[in-house]
Structures are given as structure tokens and as C-alpha cells.
Structure 1
């Protein structure tokens, strides 16, 4: 234990039930043990009842759902009573008030439905009709929801692909829409957050057309910075129109948070392969790669609708997802990680092994615990190791430990959640699939294996411990990684640093354009509609480009969509990258689970070992056409680790350099192609003396080429097998700068220091770009190499992690000097000696933050900036989109 912090207990503050609350609903809550609401619940419920947009930001387990269900259920009951008491009065024929509840996952919607049903059953009322509706809902059930449901629990994907395009069939729901609840609001960040924001604005527009006005929005989140500002941006209003409720008056037990560093291995010999749940990849000496969390291995050769002269044929990605879309808030090192070049001199136990021991110890004492891991493989490994520790000492306890992760069948996940609630399970090793608000209370401890990527995620996971007023324990266990090591040795970076802002930009034209097309198909866009989607002048400019490219038609009465296919198919809210692969058992045909298309090549290739709740299977055949992996059950003493290679190629670059090059320092820093050019993102460059800047289309290509079989647990390599799998290409937009060798040497950067200098500068540049481009660092990817095949020089690439680009690289190119100067200053000003998360370490580095050379990075950036033809650029505020 390197540090600890005790968060004091908090006593409850109660308030009376609001006078407007329906007596039957109140009676239902009282039967469930809620004699009086907590003060923050009553305050928020009253704001919602009065029609005030509300941001509810209190801790995990603070009963946020009561604050929005109380006014929702009361409104329906009041309307139903009025119609019953005066059936002959025409006034009583008004449409019943309806509510749409949105969650980022189907699991959370199902959990809320169960909790809501318990309240209604306790109240003894059948007048409020509630139902979930998503991509898995049958046609018959969906028809019932359209005609009868008062409360519909769904997700943004269903709104985008099904409800809004078919709004006439949902007119009853939209006409009575009084409340829209957006749960887990902090999950909507980056490009995903921008997409959801525009979906909500389209929803409000249609509700206003069908009903008497826009609905009241409630945005609930346990962990977010500036909740009113974030909520206002999400729903498209000003911060003054949103009231934030942040004072938590729920009871909370004392929570002890521990920072834990695994011990050094006393008797150590150099291993033949890394022992953590990472994959083998390219040596960082050859290329350091920062892979965006949802992109590695995905077939993402999609077209950017913002660059299209007209919509592409067919539905594109517009078909509703067949399986639950995975909320990938964090990277999965199992898919993305690249092995470190050399083991440390004094290695420590892996975080996986350490957490497995701790989970077993906690279970042996009867404590109920969650262990969060960074990958699916890690969740299975922690659960299996903990069971193995207990199998001989206490077989009964060993059977009460399980794994939980994405890819399990929905019914299996529900069984695990229920078993943890009831105490049938004592320990559950999980990915961040349980980070969101599924109601699991009464946990004694939470273990976190490796930095989850953001402080928001850390405290969201930690909030699972000590719920319902009980004391709790949280242990953050560091991986053998510079970032994790820094955090456990600098506790102020964990305990005292503020939460990250929820950053997203609905005005990004690459995101806005397809949603304007979708809105125009739903109902022709009028001039008075433009303000709902952002600054009217900016929105009109985007519409002009869409008209010029043939996506929309302009008439005196507005803008029209005139194509046959659905406009919703122009965009993919989550960038899921294809149909999930089903894992099917040979012989029985039993479906074990699913694997995301983005990681299928690396996880379920032929010969791969697939682990499901401690049972090992070998993949006998992966059929990428049929999206199926056939597996056979086997007892094995080894695992498999795939190896992938990755490259970035600049499109339009030939042996003589780029076509359409800007000449010399006289070129405008913000020069770029004419927005009306049908080719979209043309390749442009500019020269800073010997330094070359570039912006343009790139192809990020990845391919799984082989895998190793390693004996468990000593990780001895038993063999290497080659694979013949297709390459997967992400066509996107990148900004890059390249430096000739003589500039590096003049800056006193040796050949040995060059990879670390480039890698550190790349990390810091990615970390700083969100300040200028209104994006999230998870929306970006990066590559640095000391000799790139196209440029022939040391080059740093930063690219948009979305098909066709999302505008972030363009912003970096326009503000190149400002961006790099801020990057240089951030590194130089950091008081650390060798680099830390505040400057050059990255939470999503594919090569374990190695090599990094902080001092050389400063010298490199100084050398690059010394050639800036404009000289020292003045500081600027964040530019408007």
C-alpha cells in the first residue's frame, strides 16, 4: 500500500414528499422502505415537475432514479384520474403524458425497468404502462409500445435508427412527450456525445411539432464536471436554462480508498514473453502506436457523408445493431496493447495476479466484491485464478466467484447481476461493463486492476463500494506501467485532481451534416429550425455545402431530403465497425456469446483459446463472412496471444511528394481545400523551412498476422503459428509533421533518443489537442516513427479515429503553431523528472508508455517551433466551432 484516503461517512438529510406527488406512487415507495425522500431527491423531483431542465449529479447509489420517476409516474396517474373522474368532458380526452428514458446500454434500461416495476407493484397500480423497446424488441411488442406505453425505456441508437425516422408511427408517444430522461450523462462524450446531442435535438424538434412544446430534460450522472454546462450542451439549450442539483444528501458509509502497488518478484528470471494480459506487437523501437479504443482491427472503410456529393447506396451502417452496442468508454489492452521492448530490471507481480489474490482473500472472509479489469481476458483470468486459490481451501466459496464481461448473452448477464445482488455470488471480476448504473448495492469492496483511463471512470467504479450507507473498501492496483506507477506514488493525482470535463462538439460539421440530412428526411428543415442545431449562421453554412454536394435540395420553403434510402444510415453513433461475431459451440450449436467485429481477428482467429466462465474452448474456424466463430471445448494448459502489425499510409503521396502542395512559408496557416470540392479532404502541406506539415487522407491499416501459444502460468512460448487474415483499413484524416535528420541532430537528439522524443511529443500533442479542437482524447489516434515510408523522415501522425475524419486533424493543422507551443510548454512546465501522466504518458498507449524521453521531446519541439515562419504565436481562447 503506497497511500490511502478515508472518505468520511455522510448522514442522510430527509425532506417531505412534494404536495403534487401522487399518493399511490408515494405509498409504493413507502412499502419499499422509502419513508421520506432525501433532500436532493425532493429538490430535483420538484424542478422536473415544474418543467425545469435538470442536471442531477450526485454519487453512485444516491437514488437519482426516484427524482425523475416520481414526477413521471405522478403525471401519468394524475392524467388517468382526470379522465376517469370526468369521462364526458372533452378536456379529459387529452393525450396522456409520456416519458422516454435513455441509457447508453440495454442492460441499464432493463435494470431500470425492473426497479420501476417494483415500485408500481408495491403501489398496486396498473394504470402506468412501462416497457423497454430496442433493436431486440419483436414487431408485436414494438407495436404495443407504439400504441399504449406511457414510459418507454430505450437507447440513443434506437431513437436514431428506428423511432425518429418512423416518427409518424410514434406520433402518440411524441404528442404526449413531457419528460426525457438521459441517464449516465457522463458517458456521452467525444464524437459519441456529439451524435447523441444531435439525436436529442431532433427528438425535441419532432416532439414540438406533434405536441404543445418541447419536453423537460433530466440528465443524471454520478461523476461529471460542470454538470449544468455539460447537460445544456447535450440537450441544446443555454446553461442558464438548466438547474444543477449537486449536493448529495444520501447516507454514505466511510469509504477507505487504497493505492496498491504489487510487490517485486523476489526470485526472477527474464521471461520469454510478457506475463500480463497484453498482446505481442511491433517493437516500439520500430514504431510507437497510440491506438484509439474502438478502431484496432476494425473494417472501417466507410465513407464520410460530409465529403459525399450524394448519399451512398444502400443502408450503409444504418441498420439497427443486431446485438447490444458496446459502450467502449476505455481502451481494451487485449486488443490494442503492444508488448514492451524489454522487461524491467525488477519486475513486479502483474495487477491481474495481485487482484485475483485480493479477490480470493475478500471472498474467503465473506465480503462481497467487484474486481474491475481492463480487458475481457483479464476478467476471465482474475475469476479463474481466484477460484483456483480457493478450490482446495474452501470449494464452496470458490463456486461463488464468476466473471462478467461484454459478449455474454443478455440472460447470462442478468443472472450474474441478480446473483451478486442476493449474495449468491461473493466475487465478480468484470470489465467496465458494470461501471454504469446497474443497481448493485451492498458491496463491501471494489478492486480496480490498472488505471481505467479517466478519473470519472475511477470514481464511478469506486462508487460501487459501500453503497446503501455501508462502509466500503476501494483498492486501485497498479499495473507495471509508468502511468500507473506514477499515480500510486503521487496520490494527489488521484485524490485531489478535478474530474475531467465531458467534452463533445455538436457543431462539428462532420457530425452535424448527416444529422441535418436525417432531420430533413424526418420533416423539411425550416429557417426557424436552424437554431435548435447550433448557431444559425454555422448551420446554414453546413446546409449550403450539403446542397452543393447534392445531399439536400433547397426550396423556398426549406431544405428537403429527396433520396430513397434512409438518411439515418449516413452515420454510426458509436463507430462500432461491423456486425458482432457469434461464438458457437461445435456439436451443440449453443451460442456462448459475441465478440466485437473490431477485435474478432485478434480474439477468435483459428486456433485461438476462448475462455468463458473458466471453461476453455479452441476456435476451430472463424467465418468472417457469416460472422461466426465455431469453438470446441478442451482442457488446456496454455493461452494464445495474437500479433498484429499496423501502418499509416498517406493517400495521394508519390515518389516526388504530395500533389497540391502549398509552397513555402507564405501559405496561409489555415489553408485547406474549398469546402465545395467533392473530393472532401484533399492532401495539403506547408513548409516551415526544413519541417513539413501535412493534412490529408490516410489509410490506417492493421492486420493480425500470427499468434503464440504460451503455457500458463509461466508464459513459456510453446509455438508460433502464422495466420492469413484480411487487412482492415480505416480511411480517415490525419495531421502530421516530419523532421529531417539534420534538424534532430542539431537539437542534440541522438538516434537512440529519437523514438522516445517523437513518442513523448505525440502523447503530449494528443493530450493537448482537445483544448483546441473540442474533442476527447479517445477520439484520436497517433503514430510516431523515426523513418516513415512516405515522408522519408521522422514523422508524428495524429488522426481522427472515425471513418472519413471528424474535423479534429483539420483544427490541429490550422492551429499548428499554437498547438505545438502549448504541447511544448505543458511538457516543460511539468515538475516531474522523467515524464508523467500530466505531460507525456498516455492512458491508452499501445506500447506501455515506452520509450519516452521527456527532455528530448522538449528539444524536438523547440527545434520544430524555431522554424515557425510566424514566430511566437499569440495565445488564443478555444475557437468557436
Structure 2
């Protein structure tokens, strides 16, 4: 048998390989840490104590004990501790104790993904079977069969679900769930940091509806939240649930030794500072670990990237490993396939997995030893979550962050202290976004009528209810607003995307066996499922033969080609209203309502391996319009006069490119939630302007936070630009590939002017 290296010997081999070691920018070893224990509480039910003992738990970690004490006193709390620190017991102990004390007690668990819900159900059921008592714990999601659904409603002590199911299947049918709502003692919200931006704003309103229904049935449940590390967990938990929270943020769990390696691919084009593709480097690095049978997870930012890396890895190890031992995992896969992959990771049949952030959360996926990130995940919290996937059971773990040429990746990789020492980002939600609020008021009115003078968890409603009555959505009669439509509204409201409907992907390779293989939101579909796009699914390439935009269906056929596709969006922006404006010397910073028109224009065909452009074509799709909020910064005449029009245009594009990559760092959002564009002459004030807007109807507060911190954002952008080693501008800083030589310098001076002007304006 061929000798396979262990993780530590393989690391030494790689360190001695100059091809690897020359690209290491930073290597941080996080030492192991001993646990801090507390005694198991004396009042804990003996059956529960014995079950814990049988599982080898004779003491609690200090944070688990603190959680139990808060729960016992009836206090809402949020626990913020690292991955694999035993957060599950923070809520399972108080919930099981309450049910053992009173068998009518009920608990509702909310997890952001089905994978996590399934994993937690297994954990809970193991503990219940150890106790030998009759406590019913069920998952209730889209995969639950109709036969079991009735049993869950009537007899489920613990109902495990996700916000989407709560929103569309439980709350609208609350009359079928009377035993749950009458006896609901605990609402558990896991992975709290996921509920930010658009998704969090929706979920906060779902919680408002849930609390309203609980009050109707006479219950007043206690909230228990758990989260990965973010800067404002208490604030986020309080905004999300509308309740005052206690904070637990000191972990008593032990920490295994971790090697965190920042890896920057070699430069292949020195003048433009273009580096070798992160995807190709990840393929090579993952290959080293997989060939040595070291269980590895690779994270990629997009569905397309997942499928490309999966294709590469299958090719790389085809002579040494069976194809099924390396799998892809992402949203859009069907449930049976996802369960099978999770099981394969736990029992070791699957050696490698390439995933989007779908596996970033706390799913127990076995003894992974290596985590490789294809680029920076977008937030410090996400990066630590992904890193936490490795070393959960084994002593030592390796985390490799492989940078792309993007400015954000290069900023993080060149500034490791920012990553390791910086406070994590602030998570922002805006439950009172009018578009979101009105959507959920419709749902709430369907569930229970509103009386005149009612509030929605403290929000005054009279104007909105009157408007909905005038629009004949509600009927006002005898001081009460009633729902007056045949259909119920929750079906048409998606919690996770700006669009209301997903596009269904239909595989028609075999005309006799046409089947649905996945789905995608509308905004993504514009650039990923247009006619002739190459769509990748489980490492298999499909060509989109027809995108039926009206019917929301994409018809695909399996093909074997050596390229993938990438598409461009053209954007126009107009200011509708200035809500806040500060001005001095002709320069402005502002915030207000804008309208954005986006249109997919052309797509490019990009060759595998070399990543060269081998062709392009037009996209024929209608324009999408978006009303949202934006912050902006405009330059006064004195500064404008220092540049020719051409140089001003290039410097504005360069500055917008840098800001696009720094802004999401400040507001903890996905880069796709926030867009930055420049205009040489903004329509509303005729000044050179850079706009930063929320890519969601009505906005969710991201651009408002940028308006408040504009000086800081520009300062970080200057830092990114000055730390880039290129001379005249490159894709890693200003995004320039064919600009004039002075553009980097012009961009730097422009950002300096902006910083000075914003400082003066704010004084």
C-alpha cells in the first residue's frame, strides 16, 4: 500500500516546497486552550443528568451553565461563542428540563437551513433516547411528508423548522397548531448572525407575527439565541426579537490547535499585478490533501465556482480516488442529495466536499481536518464560521485562505492584523423597511384581523392599514381590518431575495425523462441562466437552451464543453429624494431614495484552465427596475477643475471599484447586497458623484450606515490602494486593465480629496 502522509508531515513537506512557501503571506498558529468547567446544576432532572453522563458529560462548560441559569430565571439571552463550543446544550438543557417538569410544554427551534435542522434533530433525538422518556422532536420543513405533518402539529414537543416554513406554512395555518401556540415556552433562534440585511429584516417581521399569534393563544415564550462572533450580537438579537436580551460571550469550551494560513497566488502579469487564478491554486492545494486521504472542505463564493472546482478535482484525482468520494454541496440541490452528502461526510465515505456557504453553519460533518477558502468569504464572521468546519473532532486543523486578485481579498491578505485583531463586523437589519413591513402586515392580517389602534410589536399601523383598505387588500368594518382576498399572501413573499419568484431549472437532456434539477432567484438568473449560459450542477455542464422569463423556467441540456460563461449588468441610477444632505465648498455627502435600472447586456465564454475569453454574445432580457436607498458623495468645482474630463471619469471608476470592495467590510453584508457606481455628471446635481446603494427594494439600512461612516470607508479605501504593489493600477485595486498610466495616482488623489471634503463637511 502506498504511504499516505499525516496532516503534520504533509504541512512540513509543503513548507519545504518553495512553490508553496513563497506564496504564504501570513501563518498564524492558534494554540489549543483548556476548558473552563462548571458543575451540573443540582436542580437538573435526574433522567437528564444520567443521559448526559452516558454521553460522557459529567460537567458543563461555564457558558452552558450560565445559559441554563438565565433560562431558569425566565430571561431572554443570546450566547456568542466559537464554533464547536457546545452551544446546542445552551438551549437543549433548559428546553428538555421544562418538558420533563411539564409534559404539555412546547418549544420551537428556528434554523436558517434544512441541513442544520436535520443535524440538530439527530442530536436531540439521541439525547432523548438516552433519557428513555416520551418526548417528541420533529423537523417540519418542505421535505416533511403529509402523513407526519399532522402528528407534528398535534404531538410535537419540539418543532424544528426554518424561517421560511414558519412564514409560509405554520403562521398562516395557526389554527392547526393550537397545542403548540398555547403551550409555547421557548423560541430558539440558532446562527443569529445569518439574520442580517434583507433576510434578517424579513425574519424580524416573521417573529413579530409569531409573537402576535402567541399572545392570541395566551402564551409568552422566552427567546434563546446563539450566534457566531459579530460586533453587536445583543443589539441584533434585540432588534430581531423585539425583546431585551442578556449576553453570554465568554466561552468555557476547549479550543483545538489551528494553523491559519494566508496564501497569495503568484503574480502572472507584473505590470497589471494579476495573480494566478485562486480557483486553480485551490485545485492544486486541495489535491495535495485529498491524495493523502485527509478529509478536506473547500468553500467557494458562488454556485458556478463550486461546480468549476468540483470538475477540476474530479479530473485531478481520478486515478487515485473514486469520483463519488468528492462531492459538491450548495443551495439548489434536491433534499435527498443533500442528506446523502451530509451522511457521507460523517461516516467518512466522502473525503472531500466543495461547498458554497450552505455548509458554513454548525452542521456536524465529521472529522474534517482541512478547510480551504477560495477567496475571502466577505465577512470576518463568515471566515471564522468556515474555519470552524475543520478540527471539530481531531486535534489539529489547517485553514488556508487563498486570495483572488479582487481588491477585498488583497486588502485582507496584505493586512492580517485587520482580520485577526479587528472587531468583527456589525450586522444591520431594518424591520421597518416599508416594503418588507407592508408585505408582512398583509400576512399578519390574513392570520388575525387588526383592530383599530393595534400596533405591530410597537409599530404604529393606522396609516398603512388605511392605505391597504383603500387598495381593497383589507376590508374595514366595525373597528376591524379583515383580509379580503382569496389567496393567502405568504406564498408570494420570499424571505431570502429581492425577487418574489424563483426560476425553476428543468433538465431536458433525456426527452423521455424531463426533470427539475434546481432553482435560482430572478436577479441571479439574469446573469447565470440566460440563453446559451453554461449552468453547472454537481460537476456536470448544462447549456441553457431557453429561459422563459414570463413562466420563470429555464430549460437546460447536458453538454461537454471546455468553457464556462460570465455575464455583465448595465446600471442606470437617478435620485428621487434627498433625505439627508451636507454640503460645503460645493462638495456634498447625501443619503436618499433612488431608482436603479439594471439590464443584463452581454455574456462572455471563458475557457477552463487558461481562463481566456473565447467568445461573447448578447442577452435579451427585460430591464429590472429597483427603488431603493443610496448614499453618495459629490465633488465641488474646485476639485473638479484639477482634472481633465477623461482623467476625472477614469479616477471616478477607479475610486468606485475600490469602494465597492471596502464598503461590504464595514456593514457586514454580502458584496452583492451593496452596489457602487460612479457618474461624471449626476443627474440630480450635475457633479461628479459616487453612489453606494442597497440592492433591495426600499433599502435595508446598509447605505445609511455608509453615509454615517463615510470618512472611515474612504480612509480604508486609500489604505487598500496604497498597499497594492502595482504601479499604474490593476484589477486588485482600481480594476483598471486598459486605462492611462496616471489613473492609479489620479484615483489616490481623488480619494484623498473626498476624505478631506467629507471631514470638512462633517465638522
Superposition pairs for residues 734-745 of structure 1, below 5 Å? 734=630, 744-745=639-640
The corresponding residue for 2:85 is 62
Aligned counterpart in structure 2 of residue 543 of structure 1, from 458, 462, 469: 462
The corresponding residue for 1:245 is 248
CA distance in 2, matches of 1:731, 1:15: 53
Cα distance 1:131–1:629, how it changes in 2: closer, same or farther (>3 A)?
A: same
The corresponding residue for 1:198 is 205
Aligned counterpart in structure 1 of residue 299 of structure 2, from 351, 354, 372: 372
Shift of 1:465: 1.6
The corresponding residue for 1:222 is 228
Aligned counterpart in structure 1 of residue 179 of structure 2, from 172, 175, 180: 172
Task: Verify: 1:703 aligned to 2:597, yes or no.
Answer: no
CA distance in 2, matches of 1:363, 1:863: 52
- SS of the equivalent of 1:644 reads strand
Shift of 1:407: 1.6
The corresponding residue for 1:656 is none
Aligned residues of 1:373 and 1:431 also touching (Cα < 8 A): yes
Aligned residues of 2:25 and 2:263 also touching (Cα < 8 A): yes
CA distance in 1, matches of 2:174, 2:662: 41
Aligned counterpart in structure 1 of residue 696 of structure 2, from 802, 821, 841: 802
Shift of 1:457: 0.6
The corresponding residue for 2:18 is none
Task: Verify: 1:574 aligned to 2:496, yes or no.
Answer: yes
Task: Verify: 1:425 aligned to 2:350, yes or no.
Answer: yes
CA distance in 1, matches of 2:608, 2:419: 34
The corresponding residue for 1:108 is 116
CA distance in 1, matches of 2:147, 2:476: 39
- SS of the equivalent of 1:109 reads helix
Point out the more displaced range, 452-461 or 580-589: 580-589
Shift of 1:516: 4.3
Aligned residues of 1:649 and 1:790 also touching (Cα < 8 A): no
Point out the more displaced range, 452-461 or 486-495: 486-495
Cα distance 1:71–1:558, how it changes in 2: closer, same or farther (>3 A)?
A: farther
Superposition pairs for residues 40-79 of structure 1, below 5 Å? 40-79=63-102
The corresponding residue for 1:679 is none
The corresponding residue for 1:647 is 571
- Structure 2: gaps (5+ residues): 1-23
CA distance in 1, matches of 2:589, 2:421: 41
The corresponding residue for 1:163 is 170
Aligned residues of 2:498 and 2:697 also touching (Cα < 8 A): no
Shift of 1:521: 4.5
Shift of 1:737: 6.3
Cα distance 1:205–1:528, how it changes in 2: closer, same or farther (>3 A)?
A: farther
- SS of the equivalent of 1:751 reads helix
- SS of the equivalent of 1:166 reads helix
Aligned residues of 2:106 and 2:183 also touching (Cα < 8 A): yes
Q: C-alpha deviations, 1:643-695, integer Å up to 9, x for none?
A: 3331215388xxxxxxxx9xxxxxx9759xxxxxxxxxxxxx99986979795
Shift of 1:734: 4.6
CA distance in 2, matches of 1:570, 1:610: 26
- Structure 1: gaps (5+ residues): 81-95, 269-342, 653-660, 662-667, 672-684, 813-817, 875-881
Q: C-alpha deviations, 1:405-437, integer Å up to 9, x for none?
A: 222111111111111111112221111111111
The corresponding residue for 1:363 is 290
CA distance in 2, matches of 1:103, 1:220: 10
Cα distance 1:115–1:765, how it changes in 2: closer, same or farther (>3 A)?
A: closer
Superposition pairs for residues 555-634 of structure 1, below 5 Å? 560-564=481-485, 566=488, 568=490, 572-577=494-499, 578-587=501-510, 588-634=513-559
Aligned residues of 1:601 and 1:704 also touching (Cα < 8 A): no
Cα distance 1:769–1:5, how it changes in 2: closer, same or farther (>3 A)?
A: closer
Shift of 1:444: 0.8
Q: C-alpha deviations, 1:215-235, integer Å up to 9, x for none?
A: 111101122224333322221
Aligned residues of 1:762 and 1:797 also touching (Cα < 8 A): no
Aligned residues of 2:714 and 2:751 also touching (Cα < 8 A): yes
Cα distance 1:344–1:136, how it changes in 2: closer, same or farther (>3 A)?
A: farther
CA distance in 2, matches of 1:776, 1:433: 14
Cα distance 1:369–1:704, how it changes in 2: closer, same or farther (>3 A)?
A: same
CA distance in 1, matches of 2:536, 2:664: 39
Cα distance 1:363–1:761, how it changes in 2: closer, same or farther (>3 A)?
A: closer
CA distance in 1, matches of 2:38, 2:712: 50
The corresponding residue for 1:472 is 397
CA distance in 2, matches of 1:197, 1:846: 37
Aligned residues of 1:483 and 1:836 also touching (Cα < 8 A): no
Task: Verify: 1:725 aligned to 2:621, yes or no.
Answer: yes
CA distance in 1, matches of 2:720, 2:410: 14
Shift of 1:201: 2.8
Cα distance 1:419–1:102, how it changes in 2: closer, same or farther (>3 A)?
A: same
- SS of the equivalent of 1:406 reads coil
CA distance in 2, matches of 1:9, 1:368: 21
The corresponding residue for 1:97 is 105
Cα distance 1:521–1:416, how it changes in 2: closer, same or farther (>3 A)?
A: closer
Relative contact order higher in (CA < 8 Å, ≥ 6 apart): 1
- SS of the equivalent of 1:832 reads helix
Aligned residues of 2:655 and 2:751 also touching (Cα < 8 A): no
Task: Verify: 1:187 aligned to 2:190, yes or no.
Answer: no
Task: Verify: 1:123 aligned to 2:135, yes or no.
Answer: no
Point out the more displaced range, 625-634 or 581-590: 625-634
The corresponding residue for 1:857 is 750
CA distance in 2, matches of 1:234, 1:106: 21
The structure in which a higher percent of residues are strand is 2
Aligned residues of 2:658 and 2:721 also touching (Cα < 8 A): no
CA distance in 2, matches of 1:560, 1:774: 38
Shift of 1:507: 4.1
Task: Verify: 1:757 aligned to 2:652, yes or no.
Answer: yes
Cα distance 1:698–1:508, how it changes in 2: closer, same or farther (>3 A)?
A: closer
Shift of 1:863: 9.0
Shift of 1:783: 1.8
The corresponding residue for 1:834 is 721
Superposition pairs for residues 256-267 of structure 1, below 5 Å? 256-265=259-268
- SS of the equivalent of 2:350 reads coil
Point out the more displaced range, 551-560 or 749-758: 551-560
Aligned residues of 2:381 and 2:424 also touching (Cα < 8 A): yes
Q: C-alpha deviations, 1:474-496, integer Å up to 9, x for none?
A: 11111112322222222101111
- SS of the equivalent of 2:306 reads helix
- SS of the equivalent of 2:545 reads strand
Cα distance 1:739–1:382, how it changes in 2: closer, same or farther (>3 A)?
A: same
Superposition pairs for residues 778-817 of structure 1, below 5 Å? 779-786=673-680, 794-805=688-699
The corresponding residue for 1:434 is 359
Aligned residues of 1:14 and 1:38 also touching (Cα < 8 A): yes
The corresponding residue for 1:273 is none
Shift of 1:501: 1.8
Cα distance 1:199–1:799, how it changes in 2: closer, same or farther (>3 A)?
A: same
TM-score by length of 2: 0.84
CA distance in 2, matches of 1:734, 1:226: 23
Aligned residues of 1:700 and 1:732 also touching (Cα < 8 A): no
Shift of 1:529: 5.9
Aligned residues of 1:707 and 1:723 also touching (Cα < 8 A): no
CA distance in 2, matches of 1:642, 1:752: 29
The corresponding residue for 2:281 is 354
Aligned residues of 1:703 and 1:728 also touching (Cα < 8 A): no
Cα distance 1:692–1:439, how it changes in 2: closer, same or farther (>3 A)?
A: closer
CA distance in 2, matches of 1:598, 1:520: 29
CA distance in 2, matches of 1:182, 1:690: 45
CA distance in 2, matches of 1:692, 1:252: 46
Cα distance 1:33–1:720, how it changes in 2: closer, same or farther (>3 A)?
A: same
CA distance in 2, matches of 1:404, 1:386: 14
